[in-house]
Amino acid sequence: MYAQVMEGLRILEDGIYLDGTFGRGGHARGVLQRLGTGGRLLLMDKDPEAIAVAEHEFGADPRVAIHRGSFTDLAHWSTAQHGLDGVLLDLGVSSPQLDVAGRGFSFGKDGPLDMRMDPDSGESAAQWLARAGEAEIADVLWNYGEERMSRRIARTIVARRAEQPITRTAQLAELVASVMPRGKPGQKEIHPATRSFQAIRIHVNRELSDLEAGLDAAHAALRPGGRLAVISFHSLEDRIVKRFIARHAKAPAGNRRLPAAEDFVPTLRAIGDARKADSTELAGNPRARSAVLRVAEKLGENPAACAGGTR
């Protein structure tokens, strides 16, 4: 997927790029290797630990600008106001966020039930679970985790928190596991709390609304010919990216209440189809198994001039 991202972004030596999800800089390093001295790279992440790594590794590079915050705010930064030749959004959580128990993302490691990518913003998972109503919890588990036991889990959370606050990841993982039906013997199963943890994390970090706002902000900031590359990790995100690209690339199907198709001016074109990690990458990084990459190119004033083919 790394090579596919670099190819998709089609990096120009003197171009201006945004990595909106720096993480630990795997993709940023690749972009910098391809940029000349006149190129610029804006690095963003919500996570202060990611930003500390960016400062340490790239803070002295005159081509790099670093900002802590959500990629939804990319238009605030002067580097982005010059127009961008490429935007990369590699969504979801980073390996260090999952692996460090103290961040509270993992059902496999006991830690404080936090799950915030930016620990200085919004409610932690524990704070939200302490105050949310039963129906709200069930909706989050169902909408963001497709958890079939959402109502039963929500009911148990509300009953359990009346006895004792739910503040640890192990407490929540055990509570969810206790209400799930037992799997059939020999059946290979994911951890029973996987879907609930995913759902609560998406909710606490406002991941889907950030994605929608981030796509709009990237679209507005890209120059004609600029490339947008988005890696998503579950179908909810991929659906948003796919529909976003289609909405800007294709005239809507005939409908009396929508503007006529001939008035539609495409502002993006999809570059190839959705791509997945190949077997070599999966062998080295099993977490990439659900990753999907989509790439699109911003069109200019005269879309016909640059809309030849899909590559």
Query: What residues are paired with 228 via a beta bridge?
Result: 87, 296
Q: Single out the residue of 8, 15, 17, 25 in contact with ligand SAM (rule: CB under 6 A).
A: 25
**Cα separation of the two ends of the chain:** 17
Residue 119 near ligand SAM by CB under 6 A: no
- In 3D space, the residue among 138, 170, 165, 168 whose CA is nearest the CA of residue 154 turns out to be 138
We find the least distance from the C-beta atom of residue 84 to ligand SAM, in angstroms, to be 15
- In 3D space, the residue among 166, 153, 165 whose CA is nearest the CA of residue 110 turns out to be 166
Within 260-279, the residues that bind ligand SAM by CB under 6 A are none
Please say which residue, 94 or 171, places its beta carbon nearer to ligand SAM. Answer: 94
Which secondary structure element, helix H or strand E, spans residue 49, and what is its range?
A: helix 48-58
Residue 11 near ligand SAM by CB under 6 A: no
DSSP code at position 100: -
Residue identified by tokens 């013997």 is 185
How far apart, in whole angstroms, are the C-alpha atoms of residue 40 and residue 260? 40
Within 207-236, the residues that bind ligand SAM by CB under 6 A are 210, 214
Whether residue 105 is annotated as binding a ligand: the answer is no
Whether residue 278 is annotated as binding a ligand: the answer is no
We find the least distance from the C-beta atom of residue 63 to ligand SAM, in angstroms, to be 18
Q: Single out the residue of 8, 45, 129, 267 in contact with ligand SAM (rule: CB under 6 A).
A: 45
Q: Single out the residue of 8, 15, 86, 92 in contact with ligand SAM (rule: CB under 6 A).
A: 92
Binding residues with ligand SAM: total (CB under 6 A): 21
- In 3D space, the residue among 258, 291, 223 whose CA is nearest the CA of residue 5 turns out to be 291
Contact by Cβ (8 Å): 195, 141: yes
We find the least distance from the C-beta atom of residue 27 to ligand SAM, in angstroms, to be 4
Q: Single out the residue of 1, 11, 17, 47 in contact with ligand SAM (rule: CB under 6 A).
A: 47
188: how many CB neighbours lie within 10 A of its CB? 5
What does DSSP say about strands 275-276 and 64-68: parallel, antiparallel, or unpaired? unpaired
Handedness of CA 110, 111, 113, 114 (dihedral sign): negative
Residue 44 near ligand SAM by CB under 6 A: yes
Q: Single out the residue of 10, 40, 46, 294 in contact with ligand SAM (rule: CB under 6 A).
A: 46
Extract the tokens encoding 30: 């690749």
Residue identified by tokens 């588990």 is 141
Whether residue 27 is annotated as binding a ligand: the answer is yes
Residue 70 near ligand SAM by CB under 6 A: yes
Q: Which stretch binds ligand SAM (CB under 6 A): 91-99, 159-167, 174-182, 240-248?
A: 91-99
We find the least distance from the C-beta atom of residue 224 to ligand SAM, in angstroms, to be 25
Q: Where are the alpha helices (DSSP H) in 115-205?
A: 125-131, 134-145, 150-163, 169-179, 194-204
Contact by Cβ (8 Å): 227, 86: yes
Q: Single out the residue of 10, 27, 269, 298 in contact with ligand SAM (rule: CB under 6 A).
A: 27
Contact by Cβ (8 Å): 137, 154: yes
Q: Single out the residue of 16, 31, 50, 175 in contact with ligand SAM (rule: CB under 6 A).
A: 50
We find the least distance from the C-beta atom of residue 300 to ligand SAM, in angstroms, to be 28
The residue ranges that bind ligand SAM (CB under 6 A) are 20-21, 23-27, 44-47, 50, 70-71, 90, 92-94, 117, 210, 214
Binding site feature residues for S-adenosyl-L-methionine: 25-27, 45, 71, 90, 97
